[in-house]
Amino acid sequence: MFQDKSLRSRGSLIVVDLPMTRRQPVLIWLGAATIVRMLLAVAVVWCASAMAAAGADLYRAQTVVTGQDEANRIIGFAFCLEDVLIKVSGAQKLAGDRRLAAYKSNAKSFVRAFNYRDQFLGKPVRDEQGTRDRPYDLTVDFEEKKINGILKALGLKPWLSHRPRLAVFVEMENGTRDFIVTVDGAQSDLQRDALLAAADRRGMNIVLPSMAALAKSGLEGAKLETVPSSGLAPLATEQGGEVALVGHLVWSDRELGWITRWRMDWQGRTHRWQVRRVTFDEAFRRGIGGAAQILSDNGDPGGRARH
């Protein structure tokens, strides 16, 4: 705010207070040039601040805990620590890694700050037991240097370079019901929210197709697995995506979960991976997390050797 006021003040001095002489046009031009330079400087500072803020978000994670007692908080810290290590590095393969056990047992020592948000904010507490059982969103910020140190010990490093925006195309198949998750389709509200939550948890930006865009491209009602990546690329670009990620989820009554197949083309190679017997929330985390692992050069989520 201070910089904005300074610019307005200097601008008015240049334009209004200059004497009316033949040099006025030159002085005004110089003043405009100065303003442009100052605006560019402000823009650079703003961009640097935005990048710093985005980087700081990588070291932040959130989970749900019951009450605000220390025992549950420590459990929440451990949960968030694993998420942050995956988020910062892009290495989905760290999920469930036994090497993290020692760090998670001491997760409190890596925490810089934390806060709670009452999920029942505004609703009366019924009794003392209800106070302890009340759900809270626990947000945890970790020390960047300490997280980087853990990653180094694990043979990994922070992924701080540009993260390509994913254009995510997901087809959901459950019996006779078959649809593609869109940004504006009512039937995919739950899946859309779950995809956005998964992207945030893995530190990725995503875009989803609109119903109109699918219809225009002729993909509405199509089986995405039969559509080559070259056929999705124009739509991905039109939606603001840089890389197309394709997922196909089929519900299995026998396995009581979703059978999920993922596909993404990157640097001249098609990567494929799958997961079975999971909720669609977990399937989305595995899909977006797998894409992050490929893009961060941490290996193929399908377990195949890299070329």
Distance, CA of 31 to CA of 26 (rounded, Å): 9
pTM for this model (two decimals):
0.78
CA atoms within 13 A on the CB side of 5: 2
Burial zone of 224 (CB within 10 Å; 0-12 exposed, 13-18 middle, 19+ buried): middle
Q: HEC profile for 1-45?
A: CHHHHHHHHHHHHHHHCCCCCCCHHHHHHHHHHHHHHHHHHHHHH
Element spanning 244, H or E:
strand 243-252
Q: Which of 285, 166, 151, 174 is nearest to 229 (CA)?
A: 166
Per-residue pLDDT of the chain (307 residues; tens, 9 = 90+): 444 433 333 333 333 333 333 444 444 444 544 544 544 443 333 333 333 334 559 999 999 999 999 999 999 999 999 999 999 999 999 999 999 999 999 999 999 999 999 998 877 766 555 556 789 999 999 999 999 999 999 999 999 999 999 999 999 999 999 999 999 989 899 999 999 999 999 999 999 999 999 988 888 766 788 888 888 999 999 999 999 999 999 999 999 999 999 999 999 999 999 999 999 999 999 999 999 999 999 999 986 534 4
